[in-house]
Amino acid sequence: MDERYPFALPPLPYGYDALEPEIGGRTMQYHHDKHFAAYIENLNRLLAGQSAYQKWSLNKLCTDWEELPQDIRQGVRNNAGGVFNHALYFENLAPTPVSSPLAPLSGAIARSFGDSETMKNVLKTAALGQFGSGWAVLCADKGGELRVVKTANQDTPLPLHPLLVCDVWEHAYYLDYQNRRGDYFDSWWRLVNWPRVSHDYEIWMSRRIPVPQP
Ligand code: MN3
């Protein structure tokens, strides 16, 4: 993402209760207005007075945080990742989802997983297998192949390109599902905005830089 300091909280693209009954309005309100907002505020606070790094894009902050001064390094890692992951999370969902991925993503799913159900199971295994807080992510590599990764805390899968992110921090589901992360995953899956995810894959494929031939 190309956004730069000062970062602003993007509005939720639907109403707080638009994803009910799968995800409750209270969860969405706290998740967007408190948790997501806090990552934005913290990142802006960390970068205030750091003019050299205010020019960095969100992507660069997420990938090159090790180059930052010691006193802001870990904070930027956590909060830039939080901004990046949550921006995608809320956009990945929709109140009236289309039930299946569109071409060319559908073809990539067939190549990489066989079918959508298998991909869902691989993603669910990652979501359930992430110990503690983190994310399960469907990613595309530079060649357009798909893969599933899990990340801890607010780490991102960059430089792999994340297409679809499942937040498995308890704040994403505890009010609605308590300890039942698997039930949350199944509900979350029904909300996936496949037209948006498919479009994102198409854009990623069109922007690929050809590998230079020796
Ligand atoms: Mn979250």
Task: Output the CA 195–ligand 1 centroid distance in Å.
Answer: 22
Q: Ligand 1 centre and the CA of 211: distance in Å?
A: 35
Asked if the model's pLDDT at residue 200 lies above 90, the reply is yes
Q: From the CA of 171, how far away is ligand 1's center (Å)?
A: 6
Residue with tokens 């991909």: 119
Q: What pLDDT, on a 0 to 100 scale, did the predictor assign at position 2?
A: 81
Alpha helices in 67-115 (DSSP H): 70-91, 105-113
Compute the Cα dihedral for 38, 199, 138, 127 and give only its sign: positive
Q: What is the pTM of this model?
A: 0.94
What tokens appear for 202 in the block? 């198409």
Which tokens sit at 24? 């409750």
Distance between Cα 213 and ligand 1 center (Å): 41
pLDDT at position 105 over 80: yes
Domain boundaries, the chain: 25-91, 105-206
Q: Which CATH superfamily is domain 105-206 in?
A: Iron/manganese superoxide dismutase, C-terminal domain (3.55.40.20)
pLDDT in tens, 60-95: 999 999 999 999 999 999 999 999 999 999 999 999
Determine the Cα–Cα distance for residues 207 and 214; give it in Å rounded to an integer: 21
Structure confidence at residue 209 (pLDDT) = 60
What is the average pLDDT across 5-18? Answer: 97
Give the number of residues written for the chain.
214
How much is the pLDDT for 92? Answer: 96
Q: What's the mean per-residue pLDDT of the chain?
A: 95
Task: Tell me the CA–centroid distance for residue 32 and ligand 1, in Å.
Answer: 8
What CATH number has the domain spanning 25-91? 1.10.287.990
Cα 181 to ligand 1 centroid, rounded to whole Å: 14
Question: What pLDDT sits at residue 86?
Answer: 98
Q: Is 46 in contact with 120 (CB distance < 8 Å)?
A: no
Interval 164-188 mean pLDDT: 97
How far apart are the CA of 157 and the centre of ligand 1, in A? 16
**Dist. CA 206–CA 199, nearest whole Å:** 11
Ligand 1 geometric centre to CA of 172 (Å):
5
Mean pLDDT, to the nearest integer, of 183-187?
98
Cα 104 to Cα 29, 108, 112, 148, 164: the distances in Å are 34, 7, 13, 18, 15
| Cα 200 → chain centroid | 12
pLDDT tens, position by position, 123-175:
999 999 999 999 999 999 999 999 999 999 999 999 999 999 999 999 999 99
pLDDT tens-place string over residues 12-34: 999 999 999 999 999 999 999 99
Contact 63, 162 (CB under 8 A): no
Mean pLDDT over 189-206 rounds to 95
E strand or H helix at 17? none
Q: How far is the CA of 36 from the centre of ligand 1 (A)?
A: 7
pLDDT-derived band at 210, boundaries 50, 70, 90: low
Sheet holding 161-167, edge to edge: 146-152, 134-140, 161-167
Least confident of 27-36, 45-54, 90-99: 90-99
Q: Extract the tokens encoding 206.
A: 């069109």
CA of 86 to the centre of ligand 1 (A): 6
> Cβ–Cβ contacts within 10 Å for residue 62, how many?
24
